[in-house]
Chains A and B, each alone.
Chain A
């Protein structure tokens, strides 16, 4: 009975040990329990004799040489290559001519490769490859008519190169991001320039209209005043005075107010 334990060995274990027993690899306690089970079990006992008999029948078979075209016939029936082409690659039919060698190489390499590639399971792969290429080319703006009209003369290639380079540079310079960064840098420069101490140059040597590069100076001229409007001029306290005028100044009261109709230029 399957699953029945007799002498410590179940029938399923007996079947697993049977191969080792036939091969002579079983020894010790396992061999004793195996033989004990074979003597007692009505199912497993005859199994040893049958298996041994079957092995002896198979061992009695003589080994035969396979037919020379067996491999080619198998390949022809499984890969679809015609047996005539396969037969041409057999060693006894090889010729020494170069044309024959090329044909043999073609038959031995290209034809099997083509037959392998032509299998229906690759159809979808090739379709996907073609679709991917066409999608990439169409997204890149390449058309088959453009490819056909390409001029391969050196001057044309040079002109194409410089035209493309000009387009790329123009595109780069027109990028909004670059423009914004440049404008920010310009603003930053403009805002930091007044903080820097400028050179102490005499202002009378400069043109009055040229104010470029300088901060906005305080306009002291009153453009709204009329030509006959009196202008008050005062001497600030502690201002340096020429030594010859010092005595005249000391005679005057501390605050002198001068009224004039002349217009300061």
Chain B
């Protein structure tokens, strides 16, 4: 039995996708996925799963069925991108905190990790800026797609 939050999110997804996910099986499978993700306590595992999931999107994108799905996937890609800057800030904060406390070291001749951390911070900040730019551009793509829809196929009419 899904908890209240899962049930609410399920309804939201149904509303967003125009009732495409109303079967019990997809609801149950989705609830199971959410439960598994919420059980993760290690950021490395969550990151690994995110990479796997986006790799799956990349492989499955040729199986789209209608323009609404293009909108949904674009929207989800944008949501992913919107979260990434926050994560990057967290990563940099960890490095800076530990470097400031002189608890990070290099394998190099120079034992201090300060230079490496500064370089990493610089490139992470650059990545963050680029990700935010990508969010803005994908928002424009979403806006353009939102006006499009797929005409029903003839066999769709037969099913009705």
Bound together: no
